[in-house]
Amino acid sequence: MINVLHQSALKGIQLRAVPAFRDNYIWLVHNDKQAIVVDPGQADPVLQYLQAQQLDLQAILITHHHADHVGGIEALKQIYPDAQVYGPAKEKIPYCNHTLHGQESIAFPELGLDFTVLDVPGHTAGHIAYYSVGPNEQPFLFCGDTLFSIGCGRLFEGTAAQMVESLAKICALPPNTLVCAAHEYTLSNIEWALAVDPHNQKLQSYQNLAQKLRADDIPTLPSRLELELEANPFLRTDVPAIITAAEQYAGRPLQHNSEVFAALREWKNTF
């Protein structure tokens, strides 16, 4: 039996986080007939879920080209050859027949969903994200490895300035947006964030909650954007306390948000 770690109801559709590898989540959104899968790095857990729920796979949404996000596409296409694959135009995605640059709208009328595509480079050169509002007016975001709960992706191909701009696009979404990130990094991210911002009460409370959730094998995701805005240092590079901490780490004054972000990113990389 597949271990589905998280489920959220969005009035007529279901949002599921299916575990893969050591700490990945593969997200699925579906009604009782059709399903969309996001970043299937592994096919087997997705196939188990689809077959157990007797769902047809309509589409595969890809945020970026890393193997732990695209590795299951081929096997899924063998079973569901009509499934459409959407992915970033600037990256090579297997079986991709809908290349996206950002700002496109993708409609899935069978599910009653429309996705807006966000261009969010930084982790990779062509990284994109998918934003939608469910039938009950609940917004949600498939952000891949751009934003994690109390963290963000490493800069493998992009620059600090690009990531700051990308995260700003996410910050502009409604505060109640569900953040459906692709990795369970929350506890280690919080440990680092408390070194940066030790007096943040929201962060302290979230650590207690996250510890309880993980002790019960429950994911910390989806997070909510409003929490990230209050507790994630990478989204708070204009806050004096965060700037001071970053400057202390860097050992020099930091003039711009991108410099603060770069110092924070280096700090987290070596924490």
pLDDT in tens, 142-152: 999 999 999 99
Task: Locate the domains of the chain by residue range.
Answer: 6-270
pLDDT for 12: 79
**Residue type present at position 93:** I
Can the peptide bond before residue 222 be classed as cis, meaning omega within 30 degrees of 0?
yes
CATH fold group of domain 6-270 = Metallo-beta-lactamase; Chain A (3.60.15)
Question: What is each CA distance from 127 to 19, 79, 120, 130, 260, in whole angstroms?
Answer: 22, 27, 5, 11, 22
**Is pLDDT at 208 greater than 50 in this prediction?**
yes
Per DSSP, what are the bridge partners of residue 106? 115
Alpha-helical segments (H) within the chain: 44-53, 67-70, 73-79, 160-171, 186-196, 201-215, 225-231, 240-250, 257-270
As a whole number, mean pLDDT of residues 254-266 equals 97
CA distance 247 to 260: 7
pLDDT for 1: 28
pTM: 0.95
**What pLDDT digit, counting tens, does each position of 108-151 carry?**
999 999 999 999 999 999 999 999 998 889 999 999 999 999 99
Catalytic residues: 64, 66, 68-69, 123, 145, 183
121 half-sphere exposure, CB direction, 13 A CA radius? 15
**What is the DSSP pairing of strand 56-61 with strand 105-108?**
unpaired
Q: Which residue has the higher pLDDT, 218 or 4?
A: 218
